[in-house]
Amino acid sequence: MASAPDADLKTVVLNDRHLAAGGRMVPFSGYSLPVQYPTGIIAEHKWTREHAGLFDVSHMGPSFLVLDRKSGDGEADHAAIAAVVEPLCCGDIKGLKPGQVRYTLLLNEAGGTHDDLMIARPAAEGWGGALYIVVNAGTKEADFQRIASAAAGRATLNRSDHCALLALQGPEAAEVIRTLVPGAPELGFMHYGSFAWRETHLVISRSGYTGEDGFEILVDPEHAEALWDLLLADPRVRPIGLGARDSLRLEAGLPLYGHDLDETISPVEAGLNFAISRRRRERADFPGATRILAELGGVLGRVRVGLEVEGAPAREGAEIVDAAGTSIGQVTSGGFSPSLGRAIAIGFVPPDFAAPGTRLSVLVRGRTQAATVVPTPFVPHRYVRKASS
């Protein structure tokens, strides 16, 4: 976890709820956030895999990018707003269907990654020429500045990070949310919508960061506590902290910005080829295209791999060595997998060492421990890819 003096930390809307629930607060991305509750990280992790976990991710950067002048033609307005952000990223934003969410990456001119983010096209009539954008907490100020600069004179970026953003994740999440917002479970994976709730509207996407089915819910500050309380009143739901959020995303093989992604790492190196949309590849019209297209063609020095580690967990920074003891890479994320009962890790190695079954070693506190390259995700994803009936 990042560290910062307490006086410098921001608090989220639900800070008092976390304290009342016994949350152990730690500094993270400039905020004071709960790393765990009294039941502990392993119990929280397993509860999410078996039932429904409720995460407060209000430190993230939700926003709405809206055209300053709309034509009234929904498709034309969508093409215009897509043209604002496409020069910054590698995703086909123009090709989004109404209500669709796309994972993409903001890239630098060298093909490295400024951030990974979600960009969505509203489905509601009257919202043509707008995009819902959620960026990472640690990079949001730079991301917002980058997007706002690109939009100058054409569109306005309206930040919503004063609101609460909740993530309800787990196999029982759909049935839980159905009791409060009956239409939400009709969303398919990576789709979103706006739903009336009490005297407000909730922006809900079927997405998340655990590998489980689930929903991310944006709610205004005035209604955040009521929504949090109602969700936790359901016996299938428990509050979950940052510790289990990290172990869940690691099992799901999902990269964490600042660790498995950074300004030097390309989408291809990170194994995120799917995020480089076909139309953008064909046009080579995204930042770092020369490097990235060459990497797609096989000119690649390192790739992200999953590792099963024998013995103690190999944490970030641990060296990865080959059979001869030569250092060939580093672990970027690692820990104990509560679902598998063993240590797992993500790291970068040359392509010649990336095949599943390759035997390597990691150096943990001066000790050499055996490790095997394995496919990711370590634990299968359970996303719902079609709207439920």
Number of other residues whose CB lies within 10 A of the CB of residue 388:
12
pTM (two decimals): 0.95
Model confidence at 94: pLDDT above 90: yes
Which residue in the block uniquely carries the two structure tokens 């479970």? 185
Angle between helices 140-151 and 74-85 (to 10 degrees): 120
Q: What is the pLDDT of residue 6?
A: 65
Average pLDDT, the chain: 96
Q: What are phi and psi of 29, to 5 degrees?
A: 50, 35
Report pLDDT digits (tens) over 338-348: 999 999 999 99
Distance CA 117, CA 105 (A): 6
149-165 confidence digits (pLDDT tens): 999 999 999 999 999 99
- Asked whether the predicted pLDDT for residue 193 surpasses 90, the reply is yes
Residues 331, 256: Cα–Cα separation, whole Å? 13
Condensed to tens digits (0 to 9), the pLDDT of residues 175-191 reads 999 999 999 999 999 99
Residue with tokens 């409720």: 54
* 223 has a pLDDT exceeding 80: yes
* Half-sphere CA count of 322, side-chain side, radius 13 A: 10
Q: Which residues share a beta bridge with 115?
A: 106
Which residues neighbour 290 within 8 Å (Cβ) at sequence distance 6 or greater?
A: 111, 284
Cα-Cα-Cα-Cα dihedral of 79, 100, 257, 84, to 10°? Answer: 10
15 three-state secondary structure: helix
Model confidence band, residue 127 (pLDDT cutoffs 50, 70, 90) = confident
DSSP state letters, 178-203: HTT-TTGGGPPTTBEEEEEETTEEEE
Q: What is the mean pLDDT of residues 13-36?
A: 98
The closest of 255, 245, 61 to 170, measured between CA atoms, is: 245
Burial of residue 207 (CB within 10 Å: 0-12, 13-18, 19+) is buried
> Concatenated DSSP letters for 130-193?
EEEEEE-TTTHHHHHHHHHHHHTTTEEEEE-TTSEEEEEESTTHHHHHHTT-TTGGGPPTTBEE
Q: How confident is the model over 234-260, as a mean pLDDT? A: 98
Q: Averaged over 321-335, what is the pLDDT? A: 97
pLDDT at 5 over 80: no
pLDDT of residue 126: 78
